Amino acid sequence: MYNFDYVRPSSVSDAAQALSNNTDASLVAGGHTLIPTLKQRLAQPSALIDISQLAELKGIRSDGGNIVIGAATTHAEVAGSADVKAAIPALAELANGIGDRQVRHRGTIGGSVANNDPSADYPAALLGLGASVVTNRGRYDADSFFTGLFSTALHPGEIITAVHFPIPDKAGYAKFEQRASRYCLVSVFVAQKSGGIFSSGETRVAVSGAGQNGVFRVAEMEQALQGNFSPSGVSGIKVSSANLMNDMHGAADYRAALITAMAERAVGAASA
């Protein structure tokens, strides 16, 4: 690692100030993506602004049909939260499958969402549940937040403060791991909610791990599930492999087949 200054702000506004004063600075929370990157010297921030211990970014609460999770909440905290388990068990299960237990004790939802790794778990949940990303400057729908590989709608200096997850009627998650890294080779999050709280339709299907541009929704599956929310509803639907990742861990056609398989399982888990 190149050396850098370590800054521990006392509030989000402090952190924002520090960021704006130093354009080469990076935020760090759990650091489980950033620190390995720094070890390889693939980045050279002048300072790391550590927001992992800011109380205003931590915690989980139920709020008018939403589960609100502070950005610096760890994966283990989400996985173990009674509120999350009661309201959106699929979300707790997803958090419980990220990395390993020691990673989950440090990694945070805000860090994962801001990084938008195409193989990460959380983007599928955000898109699949129609979540909102709240920052120190505003609010984004998941549909407009994830803009491509490792890129989001966040502006320089903008800090995620929380993620709001609408509580669905049912939701399910199924993940097929890349065996070495334990990231998603393909994962699918499905959710359904009557009353149309989701911005488009009542059923959402989001895929992580597979898309060349990161997480994406599968409209054909969403429509099919709208009428028949059962594994058989999606078992005949195959996503085109044209825009899927194609690498040594999984060719595009294999990933396409896994999307169908994981969608079936996610629906099955949600139905159960």
Partner 1 sequence: MTAQGIGAAVKRREDFRFIKGDGKYTDDINLPNQTYCYFLRSPVAHAAIRNIDISAAQSAPGVVAVFTGADVDASGAGGVPCGWLVTSRDGNPMKEPKHPILAVGKVRHVGDPVVAVIAETLEQARNASELVQMDLDELPAVVNMKSALQGGSSVHEEAADNLCFDWELGDQAATDAALAGAAHVTKLDLVNNRLIPNAMEPRVAIGQYAPGTEDYTLYTTSQNPHVIRLLMGAFVLSIPEHKLRVYAPDVGGGFGSKIYHYAEEALVTWASKHIRRPVKWTSDRSEAFMSDAHGRDHLSHVEMAFDADNRIIALKCETLANMGAYLSTFAPCIPTWLHGTLLAGQYVTPAIYTNVKAVFTNTVPVDAYRGAGRPEATYILERTISKAAQELGVDQAELRRKNFIQPNQFPYQTPVAVVYDTGDYEPALNKAMELADYAAFEQRRAEAKSRGKLRGIGVASYIEACGIAPSSLVGALGARAGLYEAATVRVNPTGSVSVLTGSHSHGQGHETTFAQVVADKLGIDIGNVDIVHGDTDKIPFGMGTYGSRSIAVGGSALVNALDKVIEKGKKIAAHLLEASADDIEFANGAYTVKGTDKSKAFGDIALTAYVPHQYPIETLEPGLEETAFYDPKNFTYPAGTYICEVEIDPQTGSTQIVSFSAADDFGNVINPMIVEGQVHGGVVQGVGQALMENAVYDDNGQLLTGSYMDYTMPRADDVPSFKVATLAGTPCTHNPLGVKGCGEAGAIGAPPAVINAIVDALKEYGIDHIDMPATPEKIWRAINAQPRMAAE
Partner 2 sequence: MPTISLQVNGKTVSGEVQGNTLLTDFLRQNLGLTGTHVGCDTSQCGACVIHVNGDSIKACTMLAAQADNASVTTIEGLSQGDDLHPVQAAFREAHGLQCGFCTPGMIMSAADLLSKNPNPSEAEIRSWLSGNLCRCTGYHNIVKAVQIAAGQMSGQRIAAE
Residues that bind partner 2 (CB under 8 A): 1-6, 8, 28, 31-32, 35-36, 38-40, 47-48, 50, 52, 76, 99-103, 105-106, 181-182
Residue choice 3, 64, 196, 272 for contact with partner 1 (CB under 8 A): 3
Residue 173 binding result from partner 1, partner 2, none, given CB thresholds of 5 to 8 Å by partner type: none
Name the residue nearer to partner 2 (CB basis): 42 or 242: 42
In angstroms, the CA 87 to CA 193 distance is 12
Name the residue nearer to partner 1 (CB basis): 134 or 251: 251
Residue 31 binding result from partner 2, partner 1, none, given CB thresholds of 5 to 8 Å by partner type: partner 2
Q: How far is the CB of 181 from partner 1 (least distance, A)?
A: 4
Q: How far is the CB of 39 from partner 2 (least distance, A)?
A: 5
251 binds partner 1 (CB under 8 A): yes
57 binds partner 1 (CB under 8 A): no
171 to 210, contacts with partner 1 by CB under 8 A? 176, 179-181
Other residues' Cβ atoms within 10 Å of the Cβ of residue 91: 31
Name the residue nearer to partner 2 (CB basis): 2 or 64: 2
Instruction: Give me the residues that bind partner 1 (CB under 8 A), please.
Output: 1-3, 39-41, 176, 179-181, 246-254, 257-258, 261
